[in-house]
Amino acid sequence: MIGQKGIPAIYGGVEKHVHELSSELVLAGHKVSVYSRSWYSEGVTSIVDGVRVVFTPSIHTKHLDTITHTLSSTIHALFYGYDVIHYHGVGPSLLSWIPRIFSPKTRVITTFHSIDRYHQKWGLFARFCLKLGEYTACLFAHKTITISESLTKYCAKEFHKDTVCIPHGLTQTTAIYSKEHISRFGFTPQKYLVMVSRLVPHKGAHLLIEAFRRLKKQHLNDPQIQDLKLAIVGGSVYTNQYVKQLHEQAHVCNDIVFTDFQSGDTVEALYANALALIHPSLNEGLPLTVLQAMSHGTSVLVSNIPEHLELVQDPRSIFVENDVAAIEEKIYAFLALSASEKEAMIQKNIETVHKHYAWDKIIGKIVALYEGNTDAPSFSQSTPVRPRMVS
């Protein structure tokens, strides 16, 4: 696996996907190596959940970190004899031509996770490179995976490329997480809303903060709303100025709490104990944070972008994108629902996750691409698979 920051997944949807995918592949009998950046996986041993962690150098700056790490990882991989090299993201795919030329027996797979050039943190040159990366993601790989139907249609329209749509898988959990994980932030179960995201402009944290402030101001005599808190779980990704603006925007409301990045049991507890997850994003590939909340039995309220609508169809859960008033109104309407209505929405979400996004529905499709057989049946525990080495 090449392109991700590393494992174990501290933050980032791609990193969580790669961590869980790699672990599932190991359980299926494969040997897997994940290339990691030392600054992200600091203190990590060479084996995580049965996955080999390989550290190669990078130039740790906003514009050079990913591409230099992809280059050093790709060169290292050429000498290791992998059967498959799997690139994650359109930026790393810029270098996926290297194994096609210098290691022709290696099967190259690329996952198109999102249209990264839409992210507002990038300048013009970076966006040009990312657009080029979209093209190379569809050109150089033996097979290109898209993680949502909207991305599949995008690749077909823009690059006339037939990709394979395989969404992110999700590890199911029935664990009950201690209140201590959330009480240190001042949260009480079912009395806070949560947003879990990198704090970059296109994720829309500024929209949610403004909507929450308005909600509080408009309903001063409603104890349910006045007792409600908002957890912003995530931090800067070369977006320090934007994060500073968020803190300035929120400082007049003591019920908005920034937790920074969280991982492990803490972030799982933040999902599991929230009244609802709010995801006001303007652009996604497949929103793993929404799937995680759904799997925990937590209600979700999402913007009406196509990627969200693939997961959630209930109009009570959907608000107009980039519209503060719509977010405020949707939260207020959700709070007014009866307990039985909320429970029905939750059960529908859990059913969606089990039916379409559980790893036992996903892993066999990816193994089939690695084996070069797109008609292979879905993997199950009773289906023998030949161990392969995957980078």
Per-10-residue mean pLDDT, the chain, length 391: 93 90 95 95 90 96 92 96 95 95 96 74 75 91 93 91 91 76 95 95 96 96 96 92 96 95 92 96 88 94 94 95 98 97 95 91 93 55 40 56
Whether 235 and 335 share a structural domain: yes
Q: Does residue 323 lie within any of the structural domains?
A: yes
DSSP state of 44: -
CB 246 within 8 A of CB 210: no
Whether 143 and 226 share a structural domain: no
Whether 118 and 153 share a structural domain: yes
**Phi and psi based region of residue 237 (left: phi greater than 0; alpha: psi -120 to 50; beta: remaining):** beta
Among the listed residues 257, 255, 182, the one whose alpha carbon sits nearest the alpha carbon of residue 220: 255
Domain that holds residue 92: 13-169+358-390
Q: Does residue 3 lie within any of the structural domains?
A: no
Length of the chain, please?
391
Among the listed residues 59, 81, 80, the one whose alpha carbon sits nearest the alpha carbon of residue 71: 59
pLDDT at 379: 30
List b or e across 22-55, with b for residues whose CB sees 16 or more CB atoms inside 10 angstroms.
Answer: bbbbbebebbbbbbbbeebbeebeeebeebbbbb
CB 118 within 8 A of CB 322: no
Among the listed residues 261, 256, 276, the one whose alpha carbon sits nearest the alpha carbon of residue 211: 256
pLDDT at 375: 53
Whether 383 and 288 share a structural domain: no
Whether 106 and 221 share a structural domain: no
pLDDT at 119: 58
Q: Does residue 175 lie within any of the structural domains?
A: no
Whether 57 and 107 share a structural domain: yes
Q: Does residue 238 lie within any of the structural domains?
A: yes
* Cβ-Cβ contacts under 8 Å for 12 (sequence gap 6 or more): 4, 5, 198
Amino acid found at 354 = H
Whether 185 and 104 share a structural domain: no
Query: How far, in Å, CA of 160 to CA of 140, rounded?
Result: 14
Whether 186 and 298 share a structural domain: yes
Query: How far, in Å, CA of 334 to CA of 181, rounded?
Result: 26
Helix ranges (DSSP H) in the chain: 13-27, 65-78, 97-102, 124-139, 149-159, 180-183, 205-218, 223-226, 240-250, 264-272, 288-295, 306-309, 324-335, 339-356, 359-371
User: 339-356 vs 288-295: helix axis angle to the nearest 10?
Assistant: 120
Tokens standing for residue 68: 């230099």
Query: How far, in Å, CA of 67 to CA of 46, rounded?
Result: 23
DSSP state of 95: G
Condensed to tens digits (0 to 9), the pLDDT of residues 335-351 reads: 999 999 999 999 999 99
* Cβ-Cβ contacts under 8 Å for 143 (sequence gap 6 or more): 109, 110, 163, 164, 369, 374
pLDDT at 383: 33
- CATH number for position 214: 3.40.50.2000
Q: Does residue 276 lie within any of the structural domains?
A: yes
* Cβ-Cβ contacts under 8 Å for 40 (sequence gap 6 or more): 5, 6, 10, 15
ω into 8 cis (within 30 of 0): yes
Q: Does residue 4 lie within any of the structural domains?
A: no
pLDDT at 216: 96
Residue carrying structure tokens 């693939």: 310
Q: Does residue 193 lie within any of the structural domains?
A: yes
Whether 78 and 165 share a structural domain: yes
Amino acid found at 8 = P
Query: How far, in Å, CA of 233 to CA of 262, rounded?
Result: 7
Return the C-alpha torsion angle 317, 318, 323, 326, nearest 10.
-50
CB 23 within 8 A of CB 366: no
CB 282 within 8 A of CB 204: yes
Whether 132 and 229 share a structural domain: no
Helix ranges (DSSP H) in 148-287: 149-159, 180-183, 205-218, 223-226, 240-250, 264-272
Query: How far, in Å, CA of 389 to CA of 374, rounded?
Result: 19
Whether 146 and 244 share a structural domain: no
Q: Does residue 8 lie within any of the structural domains?
A: no
DSSP state of 168: P
Exposure of 276 in the CB half-sphere (CA atoms within 13 A): 24
pLDDT at 361: 87
Query: How far, in Å, CA of 368 to CA of 311, rounded?
Result: 24
Give the count of domains, the chain: 2
Condensed to tens digits (0 to 9), the pLDDT of residues 200-210 reads: 999 999 999 99
pLDDT at 388: 46
Query: How far, in Å, CA of 390 to CA of 370, rounded?
Result: 9
Estimate to the nearest angstrom the gap between the alpha carbon of 367 and the chain centroid.
21
Whether 65 and 78 share a structural domain: yes
